[in-house]
Amino acid sequence: MSADTSEMYRLMGKMVISGGELEFALGMMAATLRGESWGSKVMAQPVSQIMDATAKEAAKSQRPERVAQWRSVLDECRAALERRNQYVHGLWTSEYDPVAGEFGNRSTTRPVRGGGLNRQSATRDDLQELQEIFGMLSRTINTWEWKA
């Protein structure tokens, strides 16, 4: 295995763990808004349902401007998680370079709802950036103040 491939695997693992931490933060927020414990049934739901639950619960009890700000955070979470899903659930392909004798130019391909395929380049920089985005979003959620 090439050093580049090893590095991609390492970054992929870090990105996936960071995405899981974001999902946990979202679940904790949903449980908190519902007045439930973190191990509740909230945590067993798909992350899209958890995000919907936080928006719904916040709209019941929080100021409209904070709810709007929260929805903006959720939009960022959805976009980042969709990028993660491209890596995690996509079919990985590499182009073989016969001169170098190795594979390069990785990409992932996933079916798109309604038909077609979404193909995106898979790069170390993108994995690193996505991990950083997950960290920033997790910190935002973990330090969120509804009364602000």
Q: Give the pLDDT band of residue 40 (cuts 50, 70, 90).
A: low
Distance CA 90, CA 119 (A): 9
Number of H-type helices and E-type strands within the chain: 4, 3
Under a CB-based contact definition with an 8 Å cutoff, are residues 105 and 91 in contact? no
pLDDT (average), residues 20-28: 93
16: which 2 tokens?
């996936």
What's the start-to-end Cα distance of the chain, in Å?
51
- Residue 92 CB neighbours (<10 A): 12
Under a CB-based contact definition with an 8 Å cutoff, are residues 121 and 106 in contact? yes
Residue 46 pLDDT greater than 70, yes or no: yes
- Residue 33 CB neighbours (<10 A): 20
The pLDDT tens digits for 62-90 are 889 999 999 999 999 999 999 999 999 98
- According to the per-residue pLDDT averaged within each range, which of 14-18, 49-53, 63-67, 95-99 is highest? 14-18
Which pLDDT does position 74 carry in this prediction?
97
C-alpha 75, offset from chain centre: 11
The pLDDT tens digits for 86-134 are 999 988 887 777 776 666 778 888 888 888 888 888 888 999 999 999 9
Q: Where are the alpha helices (DSSP H) in 64-123?
A: 64-89
If DSSP codes are grouped into helix, strand and coil, which group holds residue 95? strand
If DSSP codes are grouped into helix, strand and coil, which group holds residue 91? strand
